[in-house]
Structure 1
Amino acid sequence: MSDNQVAFECPGCGEIHVLPIGPAADGHQRPVWDYNGDPVRPTFAQSVLARNGHHIDGDKMECWCNYEERTGRNSPFKCGICHSFVTDGMIQFLGDCTHALAGQTVPLPDWS
C-alpha cells in the first residue's frame, strides 16, 4: 500500500484492516504500528482493534443493526468488534471479538 500503510484481509470479520506504519504523506498526525517488514509472516506491535456500528459509541438508535429496518435496503456493514494480535503471520483473536473466530489463533490468509 502507499502512504506508509500495510493491509491484511481478516478471516474473522471479513474486512480489510489497514495499518499505518509510518508518517502520513500529508504530515497529519496518526497512530503508527510497529511492523517487522515481512510481508509473508508479518508482526504488528500493538493490537489491531476495529469497531463498527453501535460498538463505536454504544448507540443502537442509528446503527448498522437496524439499517435494513430503517431503510429497506441491505446493510453494507455489520455491527461488531474485531480485536487481534498479529505475530509471525498468525492472527490471535481476542475474547472481545463478536465474530466466530473469537479466542482462536489462525494463519493470516494469502492476499495478493
Structure 2
Amino acid sequence: MAVTKKFLKTKPEVQVTFEIQPDSTESASKVYVVGEFAGWEPVELKKLKSGLFKTTINLPTNQQDSYQYRYRFILPDGSEKFENDVQADGYCGNPYGGENSVVCVLPQ
C-alpha cells in the first residue's frame, strides 16, 4: 500500500494517489478506499494490467480544521475486510474499537 501526494500551486488542494500492490489484495478483483473525503462512501481503485490498484483524489487543504482526513481500504472477498494503510501519515481511533489511517494535507 502506498499514498503519494502532489500539492497544487494554483489551488488549495493536494492530489492524493492511493495504490495497493497485488500481493496485498488477497486476490481481490476490486478494491475500494473509504474516507471522510467521500462521506465514507466507497471509491473504487482502478486495477491496472500489472495487477496494481490505483486511484487519485483531489483533497482540499483548507476545509478540515485538523488538516487531515481519515480513511480505510475495503478488500471485498465475499465479506468486507477493512485494512489500514501501512504507509499512512498516522492513525487515529474510530468509534468501532479499531483505527483509521490518516492522510495529512499540509505540506511537510
Query: Do these two structures clear the TM 0.5 threshold for a shared fold by scoring above it?
Result: no
- TM-score normalised per structure 1: 0.27
Q: Higher relative contact order at CA 8 Å, sep ≥6: structure 1 or structure 2?
A: 2
- Per residue, is there more helix in 1 or in 2? 1
- The structure with the larger Rg is 1
- TM-score normalised per structure 2: 0.27
